[in-house]
Structure 1
Amino acid sequence: MQWIDLIADISTVAAALAVIVTTVFVWRQVGLQRTDVDTEVRRLQRESLATIHEALQDEKFRDARAEFFAGPHQRAYDDLSDVEKRRARFILAVYTLLARMVESGAIDEGLYRDYWRGTLLRDWARLENFVAGERLGTRNHGLFTGTERLAESWSKADA
């Protein structure tokens, strides 16, 4: 009987050790996966930051802003030429990219709000009539809503 009790005790200890080893292994794997996810998130944020920075500093974006806001933005939607409408759409597309990246958390909103807030709010105020015309013309009232939400959010941030 003593041998059976001894074997049972050894089996219990071995089972307990197996549970402990398995727990440590699982804990380590979860930690490695968390590290991999954190690394991927940081990589996405770096790439997103570079992408939006390049888009906002791009010469085509700056030229489109300079040309559209030199006067065409003051005209009625129907009086704009196709080239002027394309410029406005391009400006809005870049701001929509910024808005989507902020909404998804791919870039730090505070950083961009501090740097681009005044420009975005001024540009949005100048583009609102164009956006209204685009929405009516396409019957798509969801156009540029990301940019609109971002402008509303940033205007309330200081209120």
Structure 2
Amino acid sequence: MTNTILLPLQVSSAAEGFPAAFRFLWIPLMAALVSALTAFWVSSRTIRANQDIARKRATLDLIERSVSTEYYLLIYSTFREVLDSPSGFEQITDPQMPALVEQRRKVIAFLNQYELIAIGIEQGILDEELYRDYMRGTVVRHWARAEGLVNHLRADTPDSRAPKAFEKFEALALKWETAKEAERRTG
């Protein structure tokens, strides 16, 4: 039998001179760092998911309100009435009669709804994909039909001078417009 002498483990590195208790201090520090990074990643994804849900809920609420409130239904019916009349929007470009002035006010209020929606989509408050899936065709058609009135409102005329009127609505409608719809609109 040989005599074996066990010697303590020799450490020859930068850890030399550190007390033994501090030699493996990096392990819990690394575990804490990994835990913090994981928590940050999970919370970021949760926040993003909650924002998506809130954006979709706001969009659905807007759609629901726009088809059920009395005011919206009133301005929409005026829009349709003017749109379907023989002279279309021409009759309200420079209205002289109080009834036509009131129609013009309601049509502009209706178009303002689209402008507000386009701004909400642009700023990420409303969900573009959800609104587009539900309203794309209507938005594009309404823009195509109202474009002449909007151009009149933008022109420097005695009854209007709003060069930026409905520019967000226009941008949204043109973005969603198909090539076939654009060709039909431009002639």
Task: Mark yes or no: TM-score above 0.5.
Answer: yes
2:151 aligns to what? 132
| Contact 2:89 2:146 (C-alpha < 8 Å) held by counterparts | yes
Which of 106, 116, 121 is 1:87 aligned to? Answer: 106
Structure 1 distance, partners of 2:43, 2:133, is 35
Distance 1:115 1:75, change over 3 A: same
Structure 2 distance, partners of 1:157, 1:103, is 22
Higher relative contact order (CA 8 A, sep 6+): 1
2:57 aligns to what? 46
Given the alignment of the two structures, is residue 151 of structure 1 paired with residue 173 of structure 2, yes or no? Answer: yes
Structure 2 distance, partners of 1:23, 1:53, is 45
Q: Structure 1 residue 77: deviation in Å?
A: 0.9
Q: Structure 1 residue 8: deviation in Å?
A: 3.4
Unaligned runs of 5+ in 2: 1-9, 182-187
Structure 2 distance, partners of 1:26, 1:37, is 17
Deviations 1:95-149 (A, max 9, x none): 112322333442143x433443332233222212211221124433211011111
Unaligned runs of 5+ in 1: none
Cα RMSD after superposing both structures? 3.1
Q: TM-score, normalised by structure 1?
A: 0.76
Which of 118, 134, 151 is 2:137 aligned to? Answer: 118
Identity %: 24
Distance 1:94 1:56, change over 3 A: farther
Q: Structure 1 residue 151: deviation in Å?
A: 1.8
1:28 aligns to what? 39
Which of 107, 114, 125 is 2:127 aligned to? Answer: 107
Question: Which of the two has higher C-alpha Rg?
Answer: 2
Judging by fraction of residues, say which structure has more helix: 1
Which of 55, 74, 82 is 1:68 aligned to? Answer: 82
